[in-house]
Amino acid sequence: MNGLFIIGLLVVLVLNLIFIAFAIIDIMQRKNVKYLPKIGWILVMAFILFGSVVYLLIGRGKDLPN
């Protein structure tokens, strides 16, 4: 049971890191983002588990990447 918990935790952390990497690449390519400044979204990603998913769902601007 303990080993399964650790594997699950590692999977969650790796998925979170993948989402963060994708979201930071996206945030740097956009001119505008919604609701927060870019640095605000990066802080959300840094301190909230799956904050990057929140950004990808509601924070992306409507403009196309530069």
Q: List per-block mean pLDDT (blocks of 10 residues) for the chain, which spans 66 residues.
A: 90 93 93 92 92 92 66
Q: How many CA atoms lie within 13 Å of 43's alpha carbon, on the beta-carbon side?
A: 5
Q: Does the residue 64 lie in any domain? A: no
Q: What are phi and psi of 7, to 5 degrees?
A: -65, -45
Tell me which residue range forms the domain holding 26.
2-59
Is the pTM here over 0.85, yes or no? Answer: no
Q: What is the gyration radius of the CA atoms in the chain, in angstroms? A: 14
C-alpha distance across the termini of the chain, in Å: 48
Number of domains in the chain: 1
Give pLDDT, residue 11: 95
The answer to whether the CB of 44 falls within 8 A of the CB of 7 is no
Tell me the sheet residues that pair with 60: 33
Structure tokens at 63: 């403009």
